[in-house]
Amino acid sequence: MYKNLIYFGLALSFLTGCAQEETHYQFQVSDLEPNLIKLASDEFQGRRPFTEGEKITTAFLETEFKNLGLEPGNGDSYYQDVPMVSIVSKSAETMELKNSSSSVSLTGFQDFVIWTQKTDSLVEIKDAEVVFAGFGIVAPEYGWNDYAGLDVKGKIVVVLVNDPGFGTEDATFFKGNTMTYYGRWTYKYEEAARQGALGCLIVHNTIPAGYGFNVVQGKHHQPILYLDDRGKENYKLGVEGWLTLPSAKKLFELAGKNDSELLAAARKQGFQGESLGVNLTTSIQVEAEYNVSQNVVAKLTGKTKPEEFIIYTAHWDHFGIGKPDETGDSIYNGALDNASGTAALLALAKAYATDEKPDRSVIFLAVTAEEQGLWGSAYYAENPIYPLEKTVANINMDGINPYGKMKDVSIIGVGQSEMEDLLNVELEKLGRYSAPEPNPVAGYYFRSDHFNFAKVGVPALYFGTGIDHFEKGKEYGKSLQDEYVAVYYHKPSDEYDTSRWNLDGAVDDVQVLYNVGKSLANSDKWPGWKEGSEFKAVRDGYMKR
């Protein structure tokens, strides 16, 4: 109890140090809707990097920033070049699995999806040994090492999605149903590479993954972007990818394993990975193209503390033109994801340009290639235009409420930073509240651009649409989000449709984003990471220098 009172006092001290001035700018639907309609239109061709859609999008953003009177954000330019490589991995039609006496043939797209980060013209995997490594996690703070005593050099590692805490309801075991970074698919490939594996295949399961296998299938034979790291000695896996759960069961059966027992054992402390006695053969034909995409950045210089920065981010990109859906539509318009967030970024830029200039500088950063791996924000974090030690906070937008007025917002990553406290103050002023994200298993904290700021220690705020609908309650609000994931997420059907969109709630959320940023921009306080956050040590380290 005493500890809680101390914490409350510290939080109150931080919050009262932020300016309490009245916010002047009041947002309207007209601040959002025209740019949302524009960005989500077929004219923008799905806004895929390295396409005509990118040129149209970035030129539009530059023009909008100029028209608002904002300064170029990168010297005399509104652009930050992001060197990348586009890799098309054309996998073999089959993946052959065999033991000493029998074999199984899996079919590409249907049973597996694989790709590579290598730029060699052909990647051949011939009779590579297959090893099961549980969840593929090395987490000393949890006393967990799936690779202990396991030699995977030159081998194919098969691992499970998410982390061992999922389904336990025990928040002290990893984080229970809240996915840790160890559960994120990107981490699993990174760790397998650190272990020297030839490849890594993740067993897909819709509930712990947070999305269906159709999302994975969207990568099949499609261009995938990575940062251009030529000249750096970075080890890369020969093959990355996913197996469907039924295909994984065939693999385990071929290995003479009971899949239920094997998966249960992988959740227990002290699990020991093992070779499955199965060899894998497949290949990937590779087409690599080096190119430069662009972040678009604008600046409003602060009047008294111009060397301190608040950075708003939204990713402008989506999937471009791809596989047609059942209606024949092949343009992935990405209206919610993330034309809406980009339109919100422009609306915020307009508000800051119209209202009284804040004390601190405010940066508006529209980043590229989020859908391909958060690459635009990753490049910025590695090559910051503004010093990280002078960057007060990041406020990120990835999808803005299309469902009408909500009483709540969903905080992504509850308990991470003091930005959450500042948010709660501004919500309370408006008669609203925050709640933990309704689907923590999905690992959204690691799935948008704020994460790259967090990794380099900058306190980052990202909240999602709430579920507590003002008129129809939580069950209705949750059903709308479930419908979006099932029907619209990463599909051509994610279009702006006035018959099902209601931007009144979006206006409310953008107002909150503005109020939070404006309060901090007129403050001399620096939000920090809370105790227990894995990002606290990074921030503390360079702030002490």
Distance, CA of 299 to CA of 364 (rounded, Å): 6
Distance, CA of 332 to CA of 327 (rounded, Å): 13
Distance, CA of 66 to CA of 388 (rounded, Å): 26
Distance, CA of 521 to CA of 495 (rounded, Å): 34
Count CB-CB contacts under 10 A for residue 83.
13
Positions of the chain with pLDDT under 70: 1-23, 542-545
What are the angstrom distances between the C-alpha of 31 and each of 34, 414, 426?
7, 29, 20
pLDDT at res. 18 = 56
First to last CA, the chain: 35
pLDDT at res. 46 = 98
pTM of the predicted structure, to 2 decimals: 0.83
Q: CA 86 from chain center: how many Å?
A: 19
Q: CA 476 from chain center: how many Å?
A: 26
Report the sign of the C-alpha dihedral through residues 432, 411, 404, 58, in that order: positive
463 closest CA partner among 491, 432, 489: 432
437 closest CA partner among 473, 477, 392: 477
pLDDT at res. 23 = 58
Distance, CA of 45 to CA of 39 (rounded, Å): 9
Q: How are beta strands 305-315 and 391-397 bridged, if at all?
A: parallel
pLDDT per residue as tens digits for the range 432-477: 999 998 878 778 888 899 999 999 999 999 999 999 999 999 999 9
pLDDT at res. 20 = 47
340 closest CA partner among 90, 162, 509: 509
pLDDT at res. 16 = 52
Distance, CA of 494 to CA of 479 (rounded, Å): 17
Contact 307, 202 (CB under 8 A): no
pLDDT at res. 15 = 53
Distance, CA of 259 to CA of 428 (rounded, Å): 49
Report the sign of the C-alpha dihedral through residues 193, 398, 290, 91, in that order: positive
pLDDT per residue as tens digits for the range 203-224: 999 999 988 999 899 899 998 8
pLDDT at res. 514 = 98
3-class DSSP assignment, residue 165: coil
Amino acid at 112: F
**Helix axis angle, 504-521 to 29-39, nearest 10°:** 110
137 closest CA partner among 177, 175, 182: 182
Amino acid at 322: G
E strands, 92-238, are 94-98, 103-107, 112-115, 122-132, 138-139, 144-145, 156-160, 199-203, 223-227
464 closest CA partner among 393, 396, 517, 385: 396
